[in-house]
A and B are shown apart, each in its own frame.
Chain A
Amino acid sequence: QKEVEQDPGPLSVPEGAIVSLNCTYSNSAFQYFMWYRQYSRKGPELLMYTYSSGNKEDGRFTAQVDKSSKYISLFIRDSQPSDSATYLCAMSQGGSYIPTFGRGTSLIVHP
């Protein structure tokens, strides 16, 4: 079992839909949780950064962390074709920042 599990998709949704992306993990020492967006042939770009459990909202994006279930989510409201990308979750134990990444979920938002 990998430390971080993420469904690779692809996930295809119509424009305007609410998108839910998820990761599960096995290492209870993880404290920092990140979501990155990666467009084709580009490097990952940090979207959201959360410490411990709870919710964090930034515009159309909401990140949720449930440490008791070892489950994290990213919600995208009013999805746009420009949101089409691969979304990577990442997490770390803090201190010396060495994140462990999921394999990424490919999202396609069609007009």
Chain B
Amino acid sequence: ETGVTQSPTHLIKTRGQQVTLRCSSQSGHNTVSWYQQALGQGPQFIFQYYREEENGRGNFPPRFSGLQFPNYSSELNVNALELDDSALYLCASSLPTRGGETQYFGPGTRLLVL
């Protein structure tokens, strides 16, 4: 186990709705990244938070937003859900190290948009 937990495990929403996914990082890990993994694809980077500030963003629209809290938990919010948002959403926590990081992934939240 990585010590990273995510909730809920599964979620079904309809197009146009909003969703909030949650992640609890390892204690002391002040960096969290969120990824979207479509079926049969590798994880795609959404954004990263470091000490509660957004620290990098992938090619995702503004309706994907996030928050990081001082207690090492974080949220991913998606507004105006689209069918293509159906995927596994992964969070990964880490300590930043020079030149790279070891990321610990949670088990993911599987989102289905109907």
Chain B at the A interface: mostly helix, strand, loop or mixed? loop
- Complex contact B103–A46 (CB within 8 A): yes
Chain A at the B interface: mostly helix, strand, loop or mixed? loop
Segment at the A interface, from B13-21, B41-49, B66-74, B79-87: B41-49
Residue of A nearest to B58 (CB): A98
Segment at the B interface, from A62-70, A75-83, A100-108: A100-108
- Complex contact A98–B100 (CB within 8 A): no
The yes or no answer to A111 lying at the interface (CB within 8 A) is: no
- Complex contact B55–A96 (CB within 8 A): yes
Q: Which of A6, A51, A92 contacts B42 (CB 8 A)?
A: A6
- Known: A97-B96, A99-B45, A103-B42. Contact between A46 and B55, CB under 8 A? no
| Number of interface residues, chain B, beta carbon within 8 A | 27
B40 CB contacts on chain A under 8 angstroms: 8, 103-104
Q: Which of B2, B94, B99, B103 contacts A51 (CB 8 A)?
A: B99
Bound Cα distance from A94 to B102, whole angstroms: 12
Bound Cα distance from A103 to B96, whole angstroms: 25
Residues 35-71 of A, flagged 1 when their CB comes within 8 A of B and 0 if not, give: 0100001111110010100000000000000000000
Residue of B nearest to A90 (CB): B42
Q: Which of A31, A42, A97, A104 contacts B94 (CB 8 A)?
A: A97
Bound Cα distance from A71 to B90, whole angstroms: 27
- Complex contact B44–A101 (CB within 8 A): yes
Q: Which of A43, A44, A98 contacts B56 (CB 8 A)?
A: A98
- Beyond A32-B100, A44-B43, A98-B48, list 8 extra A-B contacts (CB 8 Å): A43-B90, A43-B92, A43-B108, A90-B42, A97-B101, A101-B44, A103-B40, A103-B41
